[in-house]
Chains A and B, each alone.
Chain A
Amino acid sequence: MATEQFTGAEIVIKALKDQGVDTVFGYPGGAVLPIYDAIFKQNDIKHVLVRQEGGAVHAAEGYARSTGKVGVVLVTSGPGATNAVTGLTDALLDSIPLICLTGQVPTHLIGNDAFQEADTTGITRPCTKHNYLVRDIESLSRTMHEAFYVAQNGRPGPVVIDLPKDVQQGKIDTYLAPEDVKHRSYRPQVNGEVDHINEAVELIANAKRPVFYVGGGVINSGSSASTVLTELVRLTGAPCTTTLMGLGAYPGTDKQFLGMLGMHGTYEANLAMYNCDVMINVGARFDDRITGVIDEFSPDSKKIHIDIDASSINKNVMVDIPIVGDAGRVVEEILRIWKEKKHSLDAKSLKAWWSRIDEWRAKDCLGYVQDGPIIKPQHAIKRLYELTKDRKPYITTEVGQHQMWAAQYFHFDEPKKWMTSGGLGTMGYGLPAAVGAQLAHREDLVIDISGEASFMMNMQELGTIAQYRLPVKIFVVNNQWMGMVRQWQQLLHGNRHSESYSDALPDFVKLAESFGLKGMRCEKAEDLDQMLQEMIDSPEPVIFDCQVAKEENCYPMIPSGAAHYEMLLGPEDTAAKPISEEGMVLV
């Protein structure tokens, strides 16, 4: 009896199946035709045709982030691969597990400047966690499984597998299953150092003004990490803040939650970070949006830093107790020891700490006044939250003012509901990410909170939404400006609005209709609730053009070059604290 033969393309599909993949986002082209042919001949894996490869990567990110699984992308060689680069970089900075399969010209043509040839592994080396060029069919199944292992273990990230066309078309009679493949050296440390964990517990137990500073690492660690973290925070009674990427890791409506911290975080979160005596960083990376000027960042606190990536520790901020390990595993261990030793924080100190925090809270830093018919953008998002919160929607965003307002006024009680481009700040992320989230959760409410400028960056994906009848709600906070650029031009560049006006916008209602979607436009505050409800109740995909106050700025704000306690709370603060020359250099 002849042994079974597989083509390279069949091995790719078989490996995806064995890795539990059910959805692939992609766009065909010459160098991946054998794989597309193999897709055609099977029914286990659904291929979702995007309208540009960049959209495929963001869609896979939305899929990955809303499910906790690996997102998979399939694109052709050359321009297919180069179009994927932004999404790969985005996934690298936000630690999203992705596999990106790229076609490549046949091995004998590599290096010949062949048609649609690009040095994909060379181009993607700095923007992936790892990448592979598969030079022979013998190593294909091993490489596929190894790539999945690398993408999800340790700090997650994108992995590119470059597949020359002759490898896809070759034949072989052996296939390694996932359990047959073990990476020869990559073994990330997941359990933190025992001594350091014990020291951390002691430090927390003796804290007078502790604060938990929680990042996306908790979400990447899985839902149980959020559960144990929430239990620990509640057991201690300490305040908790999260980064942009960490929203949902701790319940957003809990009384111990201070809101997001950082450049557009709440006053109480940043002041608690500045004034704390013990800071417990769980899966966050002290990035520059959080710290403000480093020299003045929380100078009097002892710092514990739990991170699965040793290179995140002592990179920006020197800490006292580093713990390298998986956020969930380490927090679980801290919780176990805390309970075992029957620790509790000193009640008197904690009470005094909370009363200071309550004073900062009383500033009501997110307060705004909605008067008159013009819709305030903050009000639009707050109402969207109020009217949808019972349905626990999946929210994606683009990048800019609307993103920060969404982070401030939308609250997430669970992880994996919030998808935004945090590290790279990629305009155009939200629409394709919503496609990915909706495909993973067909029955749930998925909303892309967008700005009109960001929306334009990947609006070709309306075609994908229409083709798959994805009931995504695209909520365009339309102020006819690249709002965050305009805000910085106002604060830093004498209000000279160089090229930041959204001119020649489409009629969003007609645009929606031209794709067969529902279009709505809201111009008056009094109509907002009723129209929002109509959007939410619609089983159709909707573009909602929400016309808002044009020149509203996003506050509170740590201006660039300032310390994290020097927040501007509103326009009246701006004049009093001019921004330094050094600050202007910073992004």
Chain B
Amino acid sequence: MNDLNIVIGKAGVLLALLSSLIGLLVIGNSIYSRIGKKATGEEKPHSIVHANVYVYLTLAGTLIAVGAMEHALITHDFAIAFVAQNNARETPLLYTITGLWSALSGSILLWGALLGIFNAVFVYRYRKSDSLVIWWARIVISLVVVFFLALLLGPADAFSRTAGAIPSDGAGPNALLQDNLLVAIHPILLYTGFVGFTIPFALTIGRLLAGSSEKIWLYEVRKFMLVPWSCLSLGIIMGAWWSYQVLGWGGFWAWDPVENAALLPWLMATASLHSNIATENRSMLTTWSMSLVLATFNLTLLGTFLTRSGVIESVHAFANSGAVGPALAGALIVSLAASMLLVATRGHLLGLGNKIELAWSRPAAFVANNLAFSALTLVVLVGTTFPIVASAFGDTISIGRPYYDSLSVPIGLFILVAMGVAPVLSYQGANLELLRKRLFIPALMGSLVFFMLVIFGVKDLASLCAFGLAAFAFCVAAIQIKASILSFHRAKSGWWRGLIGREGGGMVAHIGLIIIGVGMVAALSYGQRGEVNISPGKSAYFDGVKITYLGTKVVELPGKTVTSANLEINGSGNYGPAITVFGNSNEGVGTPAIDSNLMRDVYLTVAELPTGANQSSVVVGVIVQPMVAWIWIGGFVVFFGGLASVLSRKKRIATRTDVESIEPVCESTPEISSNQDLEELKR
């Protein structure tokens, strides 16, 4: 009984590894014989249905391993070292479950299971496909699966036995990881994002190896890109929210290497989603688009390497985990070299692409977008990796906020401009009259916001521009959505279709991003922070907020001891920022209390508990920041916008094809936009 979890868990990992290895051999053999037959001219496409079962077996194996680990955590099986280190008897059930991803080897186990799910979905979708692109893609995915499973058997063994005597109680998860519900959500979202980028990467490598220029794969790449992109977007924002709610510093983004590691693939993926549209519709930027997809995956490997190898000094804790770091570095080098080699030698097989000659056209706007996102990627990449370079020369350094802020602000403003102008540009190039007509109201709103803020006394030029441009871009997106909803409504095919598909979902995502941007600029530029010293029963004012101190309360719970200050904001509510000491930990964790509404957040922390009797005063840290809540709301909007773009608008196309024949696979974007152009010009 004692070793049951270990045995089942290891068996699960082994099953997964063996089946993915067999699957790899089967597909490899099929490709080999097919290429051989092609050479002798007797190629006959055949299916590899018999290889599918190994993918499902791999998934089953990883799920069994995850199940065994969860069972071990819930039953507090401290014979497993991982459980002993990340669980304690008094840990609440929720944080017992999330214990799976509170340390490295468990995270890699979860990683393997998520990859197994993505792989199974992909294979199920193409279970009967005889396309060489799919076959090669499956080889690539299997290699990635094998790599992570091998990590689980070797350097990151989650099921290794506790050395020596089995302890009666475990160490428990890090105190910070058992304080907030978001710990259950944001790592899963981030991992889903990271893992999911394997599929578009594999598809693109498959296209390169098979030398296929068929357009259909571009749509598949986009769909498999959008799902992880949406999850990563929300995951980054939820991570920021977690940090805001838990860490007691009142901030949400610190350009910390861990944050940057998640941001880098997001930036690349965002660029690729845009350039892909130009490639789909006009065969432009083909090599560039595929390079971005490949770069996205390589950046996820880099990010994993940076956060998991301990090469960077960060405020976040890093696990310096023996051979995992070098293994990840090796994988990154192999993948990067293969990507570059394939693009260089076989990139031309995917079509050379048309040139972009029109300065004020949609494709030119995509180029502008891509340049901005690539520049931002470069800025973050250099800032994050520079300390590694410097450490080679013996200096331990870090790159401070001013570097990131000074460069990301102008690039961010440029992105807002592009975001406003791009949706109204057409593929045919600028028609100045049309452009003026479409941008008049947004520009008016933007300048209105700008001058209103000037009148209200806002002096900082960067934030004035940010708010003005945000209003401009928001109006453009809103008008696009309105027009799209109306046209579907008129066609009686469901108004909600105006919110889905690439155009609708894309505009929703734009609006989400604008909301995030506005929230961040407002909070960062107009936040106030300070401390107030309050005696019991008295009040203090900070930035127009009245804070009343009623007394302290000490609660002893089985898992923790919480000492909280009982506070009121503006004479109401019950806010209890606290210092919590968890079970076996000997150190306190501050828990902020937040009064949040759409206009502003009041963020309270205990800076100093009353000493001795309850009569002495408490020192409360107060941070008042406007519009912080918008950041989280925007995160959800981006998430749903991204997922909505995966959905197809096919129904409308079906009704349209009655009148004019449109290639069903192309979402009729150019046709629609040119028709809209005409309609608008007629008016």
Does B associate with A? no
Chain A residues close to B by CB (< 8 Å): none
Chain B contacts to A: CB under 8 angstroms: none
